[in-house]
Amino acid sequence: MARETNLFKDIEHLIRLAVVILVLLAIFLVLRVAVVPPSFGEYGHYRGAAIGEAAARPVAFAGHDACEVCHTDVVEQKKQGKHVVVACEACHGALAKHADDPASVTPAKLDTAVVCARCHEANSAKPKGFPQVVTADHSGGIACDTCHQPHRPKIETTPSETKKAESKTRTEGKN
């Protein structure tokens, strides 16, 4: 009997330590329940609500469908030329704010020297069939929209002049 009491006394320090550890563990478990976000684990090892939050962000580009609802005249123009595949905002920039409230935001006038050159300035890495010019030789520095209407870029002249213009553009694109 005396030996057993002694045993308890002899391991008392270990028992005290064990109790402290268990208390800390309990605190941790409570913390876990309290602090971990409720949607965590909904779809996988992440906060499920993050998906909805990512989806709810406002957009900056309206998308060409939104422009075409109002600007039908431009749509008709574009349909007649190669730029039909180019989205409005590719040149005009992000205009969701304008689409939401047209009066509040007026899109800025574009500088064709910059905007057109980005696609059409000649570069050895651009696909050979893509219309590209060395603008210094092609236009001598004048603005592109002096001759080209950006929504329907091909210059309408007589059939033979059109043919000559087309072949000129093609050779200028070759390196």
Residues that bind another protein (CB under 8 A): 6-7, 9-14, 16-17, 20-21, 28, 31-32, 35-37, 40, 43-47, 50-51, 53-64, 66, 69-70, 85-87, 89-90, 93-94, 96, 99-102, 117-119, 121-127, 130, 132, 134, 175
Give the shortest CB-1-to-another protein separation in angstroms: 16
Nearer Cβ to another protein (13/158): 13
Report which DSSP code applies to 174: -
- Partners of 152 in the beta sheet? 149
| Other C-beta atoms lying within 10 Å of the C-beta of residue 163 | 11
Backbone φ and ψ of 103, nearest 5°: -70, -30
Nearer Cβ to another protein (109/118): 118
Give the shortest CB-157-to-another protein separation in angstroms: 25
Give the shortest CB-21-to-another protein separation in angstroms: 8
Give the shortest CB-155-to-another protein separation in angstroms: 19
- At 22, list the tokens: 């268990």
Length of the chain: 175
Nearer Cβ to another protein (14/158): 14
Nearer Cβ to another protein (20/26): 20
d(CA 91, CA 109): 10
C-alpha of 33 from chain center: 37
d(CA 76, CA 86): 13
Q: 59: left (phi > 0), else alpha (psi -120 to 50), else beta? A: beta
Strand runs labelled E in 23-128: none
Nearer Cβ to another protein (128/168): 128
Give the shortest CB-58-to-another protein separation in angstroms: 7
